[in-house]
Structure 1
Amino acid sequence: MKKDQSQLSANPQFRTLHWRLLLSYLSVIAIILGTSAIVVYQFFSRSLYQQVDNRLLNLAQAASHSLMALKADKNALNTLAHRKIDNDGDLDIPWQTLRLPSQGVEWYDSNGQVLAMAGNLFPNIPLDVGFHKYQHGEIRTLTIPAYTYPKGKPFLQGYIRVSESDEEVETTLARLQGGFLFGGAIAILLSGVGGMWLTRQSLQPVEQSFGQLRQFTADASHELRSPLTVIKTSVEVMQTHPERIHPADVEKLKGILSATNQMSYLVENLLLLARTERFTDIHPQEQDLIPLHDLLEDVVEFLEVKAETKGITLKFEGVKDIFIYGDSAQLSRLFSNLVNNALQYTQTEGKVTVKMNQNERYVSVLVEDTGIGIAPEHLPHIFDRFWRADVARSYRSEGTGLGLAIASAIAHRHRGEITVKSQLGVGSSFQVRLPKTRSTIDS
């Protein structure tokens, strides 16, 4: 059982699904963590700056009570004012008690002329009533007007501007950002480890079911071969004695034989597909050193009669001395399926071309046709089993809808890949890319 599970886990379809689920899970976790971090950071930042604004407002209101004394005597700056509770809504505490080392206080008369300054921070900026930031947000200031109310009417006496450095706040926020980044990285790492375990656990029943279904397909295909062979043999024997067959049954026997051949072909394809997909890579004992040029040349020569019958030009353009390791029978089946597919969907007087290209590590085989083409929305499905796009690609007696699925499975088993490009009314191009042998690469 453990052996079967390890084989299933090696299935490229489930490997891809595993990583897709894991990346989706991590993306959701990252979005949740990122959104939470941004919300917390914004709330914390606003709270810190609100505290700064409250300190500035309290200091400005307390300092405003000293404006009249400073206008009368500038030395009053060094005198600690004793405030009495006057129930005017202001904070009745001396400004000297509220001022912090990172703050500065400036008093101005009604004309904007400086009367006095106290503290360590005096930005060289024009008076502007309200809260403001200067020097790239490093200094926060508040300027308020100071009024007296002779005869109940407001009279402007001057302005008070208080300033505070945001360095401490920015340092705290930078530490918070660093904490979020470090904590987020740890959380993503732990989520990745947990996600790998969760996705493996969640996919294990699916992989087991898939394995059972694949095994059932192989077993059913194998068991169906015998009765189909008996039916086919019986009908062929009956046809060798036409005098014993009622004339009305001749066409019926032909139909039975045709259906039996179709079923036999389908069963063989299903069995081949089940066996091919059982392992991701071909076993070393099954590998042969294959001259790809000769293999493709044999495939083309074998199908030339079919191409001539349909009035289609079949050409082969290859490069010799290119070798790959693999199963020659399976690779022949792969390229035969592709060429057969191209011939099937190419009209009379069309052209099918088989080409070989290579680079440092891979050899590519192109099967191009001038056929009916495939719609863009159908391209992702063409390697699915039993899939056909439309009426033009409908049921045909010699087809099962498994040819391209088998070709894809064989390519993946040989550590290669198969891709397709197509345009309706222009044609299709299937590309198989396979790794070259070391001797071919070195040469």
Structure 2
Amino acid sequence: MVLDIVSNKSKNLSSQALRWRLLLSYMGVMMTILGLSALAIYKYTRHNLYEQMDRRLEVLAQAASHNLSTIKANYDRHQEIGLAGNPPPARVRRYLDGDGDLDIPWEHLRQPDQGVEWFDAQKRLVGNAGILLNDLPPQPGWQFGRQKKIRTVTLPAYSGSDSQKQLEGYIRANQVTDEIEVILTRLRWGLGIGGIGVIGLTGLGGIWLTKQSLKPIEQSFEQLKQFTADAAHELRSPLAAIKTSVQVMEYYPERLHPQDLKKIGAIASATDHTIKLVEDLLLLTRIDSGSLQETVSWVELSLTEILEDLLELFQSSAQAKEITLESHLLPNIMVQGDGAELARLFRNIIENALQYTPGGGKVIISMKEERQNILVKIADTGFGIAPEHLSSIFDRFWRADKARTRRAGGMGMGLSIARAIAKRYQGEISVTSQIDIGSCFQVKLPIN
């Protein structure tokens, strides 16, 4: 039961990492909502402002349509004067009369940034009023000017009844959009500054909410780690007693029935396996809690000598399986650390390579110096690891089904412990593998 709990919960994801992951997800959702809301507000406000301007221009153009006949007559009179010998003005008179207004009862509608233009049926400019002129040809509807931001509305003017109406010309009302653009610029700044403020407050609230929501999980996780450590510690004494009793029984085989010797051997093997598992659990618990770093002092030691000792240790087991164990080590590679931990790191990887390499295969250990790091490669010609399993091989208690049928013993803790030790040394472990070709584990550690 303990193993099932640990295998499901201990995935090397600290509460701090989980907290930041939840916070970033929360902030991403909130920023997306705020961004879409601000965009919707901006689009809605812009549409309404321009719609109001279009309505004012439409009212102005409709009112100006009543003067089209008078303006056309005035234009024709100027044309006749020009044909009689008097030069016509270079441009149609800017104003309809001498007082400079539109000479109509709705002249108070005209603003300094507005203008009205009258066209005949052939789209010739016959008159204009106001200080704003547009260089676009008259097109019914709403449009923007080319030279500067001008909003225009052009309406056709007809005479006669609905059944026999005749096109008399066009009236175009113009207005500069600077006022609306100023409002929209202020709105953009307001939404931006307000959004930053809201995001800041949301972030602070998210940090607090995330912290509060994770408290029960963190407490449960700490209780789980403490329970694992306590359970593993309490199991050491009875396991030691069982191992001692089995050793005594094996020391006096004559007192046992021959059929019981095999059972005693199985008990001894299971006891040794359980003791190793308990030690692994205690080691991982101390690494997770950080207590191991406080109790172990690091010294300068030779990584080359550690690997040479491990090669000598595994030489006999490799020969028993008819596996060739090769090494290409660099001399005098010094690192800061604890010898037992580093030996444990590489022993687990080498043992894993030997266990998954069939007879007649090869395991090669090599070293390469790269800047301020030392790379140790353990390559084998074993069964290999499926691509979909590469991301899971360092999980605690994980083993592929193929491995379960080929490996006797083992609880899937070796590679997890190796990675935990490597991280403690600011190092990392990577692996590449191909089915039926082999695997290559690379350990990168900082050197002096």
Q: Residue in 2 aligned with 1:419?
A: 430
Q: How does 1:22-41 map to 2 (within 5 A)?
A: 22-41=23-42
CA drift of 1:152 comes to: 4.5
More displaced 10-residue stretch of structure 1: 140-149 or 344-353: 344-353
For 1:399 and 1:136, how far apart are their aligned partners in 2?
80
Are 1:273 and 2:292 matched, yes or no? no
For 2:374 and 2:384, how far apart are their aligned partners in 1?
25
Q: Residue in 1 aligned with 2:86?
A: none
Q: Residue in 2 aligned with 1:342?
A: 353
Q: Residue in 1 aligned with 2:49?
A: 48
More displaced 10-residue stretch of structure 1: 279-288 or 364-373: 279-288
Q: 1:208 to 1:165 in 2, by over 3 A?
A: same
Q: 1:80 to 1:208 in 2, by over 3 A?
A: closer
CA drift of 1:196 comes to: 2.5
CA drift of 1:187 comes to: 2.2
For 1:434 and 1:284, how far apart are their aligned partners in 2?
21
More displaced 10-residue stretch of structure 1: 205-214 or 104-113: 205-214
Per-residue CA deviation, residues 265-287 of structure 1 (Å, 9 max, x unaligned), is: 21222122222222188348511
Q: Residue in 2 aligned with 1:351?
A: 362
Q: 1:280 to 1:68 in 2, by over 3 A?
A: farther
Q: 1:100 to 1:333 in 2, by over 3 A?
A: same
CA drift of 1:262 comes to: 1.8
Q: Residue in 2 aligned with 1:370?
A: 381
Q: Residue in 1 aligned with 2:215?
A: 204
Q: Residue in 2 aligned with 1:407?
A: 418
Q: How does 1:296-375 map to 2 (within 5 A)?
A: 296-375=307-386
CA drift of 1:333 comes to: 0.2
Q: Residue in 1 aligned with 2:96?
A: 77
Q: 1:349 to 1:99 in 2, by over 3 A?
A: farther
Q: 1:164 to 1:313 in 2, by over 3 A?
A: farther
Question: Contact 2:368–2:376 (CA<8 Å) still a contact in 1?
Answer: yes
Q: Residue in 2 aligned with 1:218?
A: 229
Q: 1:427 to 1:224 in 2, by over 3 A?
A: same
Question: Contact 2:379–2:441 (CA<8 Å) still a contact in 1?
Answer: yes
Q: 1:313 to 1:395 in 2, by over 3 A?
A: closer
Q: 1:13 to 1:151 in 2, by over 3 A?
A: closer
Q: 1:373 to 1:167 in 2, by over 3 A?
A: farther
Per-residue CA deviation, residues 315-346 of structure 1 (Å, 9 max, x unaligned), is: 22233343222111011101110111112222
Name the amino acid aligned to 1:153: Q
Q: Residue in 2 aligned with 1:20?
A: 21
Q: Residue in 2 aligned with 1:7?
A: none
CA drift of 1:250 comes to: 2.4
Question: Contact 1:60–1:162 (CA<8 Å) still a contact in 2?
Answer: yes
Question: Contact 1:142–1:162 (CA<8 Å) still a contact in 2?
Answer: yes
Q: Residue in 1 aligned with 2:7?
A: none
Question: Contact 1:282–1:326 (CA<8 Å) still a contact in 2?
Answer: no
Q: Secondary structure at the match of 1:290?
A: strand
Q: 1:134 to 1:274 in 2, by over 3 A?
A: same
CA drift of 1:62 comes to: 1.0
CA drift of 1:258 comes to: 2.0
Question: Contact 2:102–2:129 (CA<8 Å) still a contact in 1?
Answer: no
Q: 1:285 to 1:249 in 2, by over 3 A?
A: closer
Q: Residue in 2 aligned with 1:8?
A: none
Per-residue CA deviation, residues 24-77 of structure 1 (Å, 9 max, x unaligned), is: 111111111111111111111111111121111111111111111212235883
Name the amino acid aligned to 2:34: L
Q: How does 1:164-313 map to 2 (within 5 A)?
A: 164-279=175-290, 282-283=293-294, 286-313=297-324
Q: Residue in 2 aligned with 1:62?
A: 63
- Across the aligned residues of Structure 1 and Structure 2, the Cα RMSD in angstroms comes to 2.4
Q: Secondary structure at the match of 2:234?
A: helix
For 2:50 and 2:68, how far apart are their aligned partners in 1?
27
Question: Contact 1:286–1:326 (CA<8 Å) still a contact in 2?
Answer: yes
CA drift of 1:370 comes to: 2.6
Percent identity for Structure 1 against Structure 2: 49
For 1:156 and 1:24, how far apart are their aligned partners in 2?
63
Q: 1:294 to 1:95 in 2, by over 3 A?
A: farther
More displaced 10-residue stretch of structure 1: 348-357 or 336-345: 348-357
For 2:243 and 2:187, how far apart are their aligned partners in 1?
79
Question: Contact 1:287–1:326 (CA<8 Å) still a contact in 2?
Answer: yes
The ranges of structure 1 where at least 4 consecutive aligned residues each deviate by more than 4 angstroms after the TM superposition are: 79-82
The alignment of Structure 1 onto Structure 2 pairs a total of residues equal to 416
